[in-house]
Structure 1
């Protein structure tokens, strides 16, 4: 369901000054978002899809803006009555990569998912995209599966997950003996 005022939740997400120029996407960002999509020839989002993602209440679409120019974006999808969110897309302009923009966008997406009550953020990444895989693993994501023929060009994907929610923080505060099994992002107080 589309709502003209659906940006209310996205706007409520805590965005720190250390997050740079990150803000919720607006409809007037469509031309910039489409330009970013054109720089990546496979699996592009259409104008219609981007417009819908901006307006949907079950989506978080954030942009990284620098000097009035959108140079990155991230899309997170939420399901009703679910504690799982899905990172659908993360793009940074090729000329701006390596500056921590993807890390900042990912951090905001994780906080948004947590604030929405999600415990797990999952994603798929091309198996041959070493740079993206390195970023996700550095941020605490774990490979849980390989999915053959995932993309339009039949390339395989790796499925990754990270526990990001409140329950993870709760378990992180427990003594090491009670540490949540399998949670790679928890750092128990010892």
Structure 2
């Protein structure tokens, strides 16, 4: 039992942590609710005692009428809803959503930021409930169940949901190409500081042309922090660059010596132009406390991260940091709807018109994305050289206040 055994009263219903004496009731629910993929009595007993699970019961009067089981994987910030069941006679009393919301709250106390689940594609009632509670489809498992049915995968950022009312407006822009995360993050920051900043593809591509390193590990070049800083200065913003290095930022992933030499020429040009433009360059990493101080002063911050923790790929990716609280930093990720699939299992690209309403909903999951402060250090480092780089951006009207540590 990973969470504490608080009892919650909802009119004549109670929610409480399961105990070993509830095994008979749990077995009855399992038999009544499932024809396949049932949890055995032995497994139920295991999850009641396990430190990596949360098993909550719903009880009306003296009868246990439903349960929800969440699994907490070691080393992960996500929790997984493994099973949710309510006796047929007790349905219609909003017991299932109450159980799920309670499980989310308990998962948060265990430092989990996301809840994930699988649901049979033909279980329309459950899908409707999950969507109503803020869950968004992000993938599909083919022939997942014993019956051969596919499972739709849903996710919810539970910390993000909890903080939604406390986070102010911060504009979000979805990048239109796979190589323009830097311009998109910068556009969000500039729009936050100055509402008349243009939010369109022409601006996105124009910034990329001025900030690109020309080449990357594959495809078009990513954006150099000095290039982005120069693009912001060109548009009237003050910028401070924090970077553990300004040379050879991305050359490790490029095999061709010819391409590497061109990238170095581009970098040298950025360095010279940044000096001419009086861009402040701090050749050290920015501290977490400095990021928080900058946000508190109303400045904008964009940061280069590695996407490894998100998708298992070591790709440099620019994001905007929108907010900080006692536990988390919150990110606007411009690569919205990555991994979003339609009903046929086909990945939707950014320009797809199918399932447009659902795609717009999914985009919300890439706004104010919560990252525990203790995880930020490993997220915000890229490559063999351990590159760390951030830009602190101010409007021309903001005072040139320092965020340097005293």
Q: TM-score, normalised by structure 1?
A: 0.85
SS in 2 for 1:54: helix
Query: What CA deviation, in whole Å up to 9, does each residue of 1:3-32 have, x standing for no partner?
Result: xxxx47332x5x543483000001110001
Residues 85 and 167 (structure 1 numbering): CA distance in 2 closer, same or farther, change over 3 Å?
same
Describe the superposition over 1:68-100 as per-residue Cα deviations: whole angstroms up to 9, x where unpaired. 111000000002232110000000001111210
Aligned position for 1:153: 147
1:65 equivalent in alignment to 2:59: yes
Which residue of structure 2 lines up, in the alignment, with residue 23 of structure 1? 16
Q: How does 1:1-190 map to 2 (within 5 A)?
A: 7=1, 9-11=3-5, 16-18=8-10, 20-39=13-32, 40-165=34-159, 169=163, 173-177=167-171, 178=322, 180-181=332-333, 182-184=363-365
> Does the 8 A contact of 2:8 with 2:14 survive in 1?
no
Question: In 1, Cα distance between the equivalents of 2:98 and 2:48?
Answer: 20
SS of the residue corresponding to residue 74 of structure 1 reads: strand
Distance, in Å, in 2 between the alignment partners of 1:63 and 1:185 is 32
Q: Which runs of 5+ in 1 are unaligned?
A: 1-6
Answer with 1 or 2: which has the greater Rg: 2
Mapped to 2, the partners of 1:155 and 1:68 lie a distance apart of 36
Aligned equivalents of 2:161, 2:58: Cα separation in 1: 29
The DSSP-based 3-state class of the residue aligned with 2:4 is helix
How many positions carry a matched residue from both structures? 179
Q: 1:172 to 1:150 in 2, by over 3 A?
A: farther
SS at match of 1:70: strand
Question: d(CA) in 1 for partners of 2:366 and 2:25?
Answer: 34
Query: C-alpha separation between the residues in 2 aligned to 1:186 and 1:67?
Result: 42
Q: Retained in 2: the 8 A contact 1:114–1:166?
A: no
